[in-house]
Structure 1
Amino acid sequence: MKPEHIKPIEITAAVITVSSTRTEENDTSGKAILDLLTAGGYRVVFSVIVKDDRQAIRAALVTALGKADAVVLNGGTGLTPDDCTIEAVEPFFEKRMEGFGELFRMLSFDEIGTSALLSRATAGIVGGRAVFCVPGSTGAVTLATGKIIVPELRHIISHSRG
Structure 2
Amino acid sequence: MKSESMKEHKKQAPKSVNGAVITLSDSKYNDFLLNKDSDVSGSLIKDALSENNNLVFYSVIPDDAGLLVSTIGNIIENYDVDVIITTGGTGIGPRDITIETLKPLFNKELNGFGEIFRYESYKEIGTGAILSRATAGVYKNKLIIALPGSPNAVSLGLKIVIPELGHLVKHLRD
Distance in 2 (CA, whole Å) between partners of 1:59 and 1:25 is 24
Structure 1 contact 128–157 (Cα < 8 Å) conserved: no
Is the aligned partner of 1:76 residue 2:89? yes
How many residue pairs end up in the alignment? 160
The 1:4–1:112 alpha-carbon spacing in structure 2 relative to 1, beyond 3 Å, is closer
Structure 2 contact 122–128 (Cα < 8 Å) conserved: yes
2:18 corresponds in structure 1 to 12
- Structure 1, unaligned runs of 5 or more: none
1:118 corresponds in structure 2 to 131
Query: What letter corresponds to residue 69 of structure 1 in structure 2?
Result: D
Is the aligned partner of 1:97 residue 2:110? yes
Identity of aligned residues (%): 40
| Deviation, structure 1 residue 8 | 3.2
Structure 1 contact 101–121 (Cα < 8 Å) conserved: yes
The root-mean-square deviation of aligned C-alpha atoms, in Å, is 1.3
More helix by share: 2
- Structure 2, unaligned runs of 5 or more: 1-5
Structure 2 contact 9–167 (Cα < 8 Å) conserved: no
The structure with the larger Rg is 2
| Length-normalised TM-score, structure 2 | 0.87
1:46 is matched with which residue: 28, 36, 57?
57
Structure 1 contact 65–71 (Cα < 8 Å) conserved: no
Is the aligned partner of 1:86 residue 2:99? yes
| Deviation, structure 1 residue 144 | 0.4
